[in-house]
Structure 1
Amino acid sequence: MARWKELPGGLDPVVVEFVGQLRRLKDGSGLSLPRLAVRTGYSASSWERYLSGRLLPPAPAVEALAAVTGADTVRLLALHEAAADSWHRDRPAGPADLDAESGGEPPPITVAPSPVRRPVTRLRLYLTAAGAAVAGAAIAGAAVTAVDGERPADSSRTVAVAHPITYACTYVRKAGSWYAGNSGTNSDLLEVDMSGPEVAELQCLLQRAGISPGGVDGNFGPLTESAVITAQKRYHLDIDGQVGPHTWAALRG
């Protein structure tokens, strides 16, 4: 059984419990990191970062570990989701910890998080979508009433309707690299549950490479994550479902 190093200080207890469970499953399997990499499809260096508490694994990696070790997938994914919420809240991504693919130790984060790269949990996305549906139904009902001749109580007020942001892919080749017109980043770290123009740029580049991310909506969901993993396999990169400098370079090339 491996002698595990102490986890980094400052981790939320939920994250500590999740990483501890990953370690217990790995130890119980009797697999070395190289063998675990072969069985799960995620590199040994990625698993070293996951099990040391320096990087949170993507959901597909957690599912792969559960399948290999015979663990309860539902319970393990529930622990992962709780850990992910805490991880994003306590450790916002910044330029200092961008290179999740290179294997380098990220230095302490001293840069304030960009407002564009605010993580959004799946639960929050579902609640937002549900709220939008309710609001849309109410507005539609008011419109029908007005057509039937019955004016709303206060018809002088203008109802403000929020429109979703739409993105387009306008491909341009500059200095040997492809750009889609949404973001010029070559280094921003993207992962599941993030949203914004950087994600839309990623989705456009995946489409240009012939790998469907499920649409270009600026939301990094499971379909986009699956497309990223496919691209990382194609370009022989570390397979972790996250987008760092190496994946950007491959997709822009």
Structure 2
Amino acid sequence: MSRWKGLPASLDHRVRHLVVQLRRLKDHSGLSLAALAARTSYSKSSWERYLNGKKLPPRAAVEALARVCEADVPRLLALHEVAEQAWNAERPGPPPQPRAERDGKAETAGKAGKAGKNERAETAEAGETAEVGETAAKTEKPVPAATVTATATATDAPPVSGRGMPFGPLVLGALAVLVAAGAVLLVARLWEDANGIGRGAGAAMTAGGTDAAPAFTHRPGEVFGCHVQRSAGALYAGHSRTDTAVLGSGASGWDVVEAQCLLRHQGYDPGGVDGIVGGRTVRAVKRLQARFKLPTDGIVGPDTWKVLRR
């Protein structure tokens, strides 16, 4: 297992969560950075920056690593989308261009176009043959005043409703707000699915599956009950039926409550069953992993779930 450097303290927790998952996949694959570079289109130095939190890996790099390690590609891409938003939020783009400067550039471009048009007209008028003269006449045929007026009105004046109020900009603004709200809800749902939030509930879980469960919430000092039973040859504590969720330090949700209950049942004290992966929970996971000869990274993944469900 690689000895990784500590991630920068300033790194957002969503970016940190993505990097931890990528490190874990790389370790479990047994590939070195050089071997990883040979099997993807990214260099060894690029992977070193991505896996040490120096640079956010591009979406294609995350997908390539997931495919090389035979991991869940959609789940890792969802984590990358959330991490990318956090990364970009801390690095704002260039300030918008002042309106006066934009208007000046537009006016300059308009004058240049008019000058070019006049030059072409003069060339056509200076032709020596009737054909050239006729072509120039057709090219420079004046546009009717009504057409010019209608074009200027359609270009310069915003569309209005029956009462004279701007209508087009209001509709476009409302559509933009709806699209942005939809995107935020989609990203939030993906983040919840990736971290096991809002899934499973003790009272709603049955041997055949789970019904609708309340979203996970935690109040200081609150702990949850554990009712470990065996169903279809596997142990369940009544909070989640997952066997694939990846739970690292700082993760929270019903999947964490399930893991903490099973750790306690197996004889490894995770501290209070509060649904949050803290230091005591990480140490309990490491002891369990060491006993069953798993990588002692303190992260509950598919291999650790198999041991917990025995």
TM bin, normalised by shorter chain, reads 0.3 to 0.5
Alignment TM-score, normalising by the size of structure 2: 0.38
Alignment TM-score, normalising by the size of structure 1: 0.46
Q: Answer 1 or 2: higher relative contact order, Cα 8 Å, separation at least 6.
A: 1
